[in-house]
């Protein structure tokens, strides 16, 4: 199926990435929830797990659903679930309600990420896919950047951080209506139903396994930085929760800038070299943050560098995976988005290591380990444009 590039069809799909960014609200929410409900470090760090656990459970079933409903309708379903989560999060009832609400947000975000990335292939030509995915990550980063700012404003001006969620609920409704009113041609694949076995069969390729683990660890880095940054600032600089929230915004501000610039650079330069350089910079910045940064300016500077460097890694890996197995976009998307469960796996590990060490250096060490794998992954990529052999 061939389609000419249409901005009127691309924009509503790209705006869906803004809704995708709502999962990053869990970072600043972890700090607020810990203070409001008097949660320990390890218990509070399970809040991100309540969001990202569902990527492990629902990614492949969403691929099956997408083959039957179509990508656009599946995205619409995700928006409805996300809206329900936003409305439930308005209620500052208890920690249990908070955890259940973020679980619902995670389910909606899982469905969205599985369906939205391949939906983009329906409106964007293949040679522009990487830069378009990066543009989507840029929009997602804007959403992530706005979250801590709106949370801080709601807490100070409206009396509770919970009041940021009606704002995001309205945005979700607008995004849903825009997409529903946009005609997008796609072919249903009900006769090509996928299964857990078919999706996991892709992992017989060592390259696909490497990409899957790459997604898992890059999301681990992203969620880890999201949750650890305000805690590092509070620990080393004595800032309050609201003040330390600016650290998360700094991370996402430079992540947004990195995604914006990357959308142009990746259209001209080698993905592999971009990947390698980005991870070298990220590892060096994390070593500095771990070993030397104590002042607020120094910490924020390193957080900014990491955010800038890591901004394009997800879209690079995802694009390489989609092109590695042409014709199986739904299966690849389901498998790769399952790797987003790294956001559920890494934070509890961070919490355990932090409690064992007695400082947030434990969180930073865990994130550094993820970065080292991604650096190794970038060096291992040789010919990313080559599709996998037909037996996969």
* CA proximity to 286, closest of 308, 303, 310, 311: 303
Is the separation of the CB atoms in 23 and 52 below 8 Å? Answer: yes
| Residuewise pLDDT in 10s, the chain (392 residues) | 444 567 788 899 999 999 998 887 877 787 788 777 887 777 777 787 788 888 888 887 887 788 788 889 999 999 999 999 988 888 766 788 888 888 999 999 989 988 888 888 788 765 566 677 778 878 887 888 888 788 888 888 888 888 888 999 999 999 999 999 988 877 655 445 556 676 778 888 888 899 999 999 999 999 899 889 988 998 999 887 777 878 888 898 898 888 888 878 877 778 888 999 999 999 999 999 999 988 899 999 999 999 999 988 988 898 888 778 777 777 787 788 888 888 888 988 998 899 899 899 999 999 999 999 999 999 998 654 444 444 34
Tell me the whole-structure pTM to 2 decimals. Answer: 0.75
Cα angle 10, 15, 16; round to 5: 105
Sign of CA dihedral 27, 35, 53, 232: positive
Q: Name the superfamily (CATH) of residues 12-183+195-380.
A: MFS general substrate transporter like domains (1.20.1250.20)
Domain segments of the chain as ranges: 12-183+195-380
* CA proximity to 341, closest of 110, 7, 6, 24: 110
* CA proximity to 228, closest of 252, 249, 248: 248
């Amino acid at each position: 199926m061939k389609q000419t590039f249409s901005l009127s069809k691309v924009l509503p799909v790209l705006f869906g990435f803004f809704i995708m960014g709502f999962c990053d609200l869990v970072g600043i929410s972890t700090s607020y929830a810990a203070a409001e409900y008097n949660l320990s470090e390890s218990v509070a760090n399970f809040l991100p797990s309540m969001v990202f656990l569902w990527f492990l459970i629902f990614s492949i079933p969403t691929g099956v659903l997408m083959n039957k409903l179509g990508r656009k309708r599946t995205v619409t379903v995700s928006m409805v679930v996300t809206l329900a989560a936003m409305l439930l999060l308005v209620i500052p009832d208890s920690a249990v309600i908070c955890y259940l609400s973020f679980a619902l947000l995670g389910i909606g975000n899982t469905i969205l990420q599985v369906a939205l990335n391949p939906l983009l292939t329906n409106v964007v030509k293949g040679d522009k896919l990487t830069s378009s995915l990066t543009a989507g990550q840029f929009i997602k980063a804007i959403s992530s950047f706005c979250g801590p700012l709106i949370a801080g404003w709601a807490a100070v001006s409206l009396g509770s951080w919970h009041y940021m969620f009606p704002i995001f609920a309205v945005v979700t409704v607008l995004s849903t209506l825009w997409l529903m009113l946009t005609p997008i041609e796609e072919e249903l694949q009900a006769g090509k139903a996928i299964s857990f076995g078919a999706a996991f069969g892709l992992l017989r390729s060592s390259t696909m396994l490497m990409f899957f683990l790459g997604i898992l660890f890059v999301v681990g880095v992203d969620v880890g930085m999201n949750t650890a940054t305000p805690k590092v600032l509070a620990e080393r600089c004595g800032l309050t929760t609201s003040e330390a929230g600016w650290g998360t915004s700094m991370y996402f501000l430079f992540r947004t800038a990195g995604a914006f610039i990357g959308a142009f650079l990746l259209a001209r330069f080698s993905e592999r070299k971009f990947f390698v350089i980005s991870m070298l910079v990220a590892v060096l910045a994390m070593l500095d943050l771990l070993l030397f940064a104590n002042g607020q300016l120094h910490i924020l500077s390193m957080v900014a560098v990491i955010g800038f460097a890591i901004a394009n890694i997800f879209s690079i890996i995802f694009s390489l995976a989609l092109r590695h197995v042409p014709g199986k976009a739904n299966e690849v998307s389901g498998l790769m988005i399952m790797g987003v469960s790294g956001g559920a796996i890494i934070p509890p590990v961070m919490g355990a290591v932090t409690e064992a060490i007695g400082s947030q250096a434990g969180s930073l060490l865990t994130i550094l380990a993820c970065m080292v794998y991604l650096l190794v992954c970038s060096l291992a990529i040789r010919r990313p444009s080559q599709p996998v052999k037909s037996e996969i």
